[in-house]
Amino acid sequence: MAKVCDICGKRPMFGNRVSHAKNRTKRRWYPNLHRVRVMVDGTPKRLSVCTQCLRSGRVKKAIQQPTKPPEST
């Protein structure tokens, strides 16, 4: 799974890990992604969405339909 937000396209950032001795090695910062059910054109779909998009209201979460309990005879 690619670590990319399906709404805003946020991707991992690259940089250096710097030790106390100023040694530099490559590192990555990943976006905070969540798999959520989102309404897309009236149908629910699972998308990877960053928390910034969830909090700002850029996506409409799909409401899970309650299941009926089995009827006793």
More confident residue, 13 or 60: 13
Q: Are 12 and 28 in contact (CB under 8 A)?
A: yes
Quick check: is 40 in a domain?
yes
**Per-residue pLDDT averaged across 47-63, rounded?**
92
Quick check: is 44 in a domain?
yes
Quick check: is 71 in a domain?
no
CA angle at residue 21 from 19 to 24, to 5 degrees? 50
| pTM assigned to the model | 0.74
Q: List the domain range (segments joined by +) for residue 38.
A: 13-56
Quick check: is 38 in a domain?
yes
What is the pLDDT at residue 27? 97
- Cβ neighbors of 59 (< 8 A, separation 6 or more) are 7, 36, 38, 47, 49, 53
Q: Residue 19 is encoded by which pair of tokens?
A: 């030790």
Residue 1 has pLDDT above 70, yes or no: no
**Structurally, how many domains does the chain consist of?**
1
Can you give the CATH number for the domain in which 29 is found?
Answer: 2.30.170.40
* Sequence-ordered strand ranges (E) for the chain: 13-18, 24-29, 33-40, 43-50
Quick check: is 21 in a domain?
yes
Quick check: is 68 in a domain?
no
- Res. 68 pLDDT band, cuts 50 70 90: confident
Residue 66 has pLDDT above 80, yes or no: no
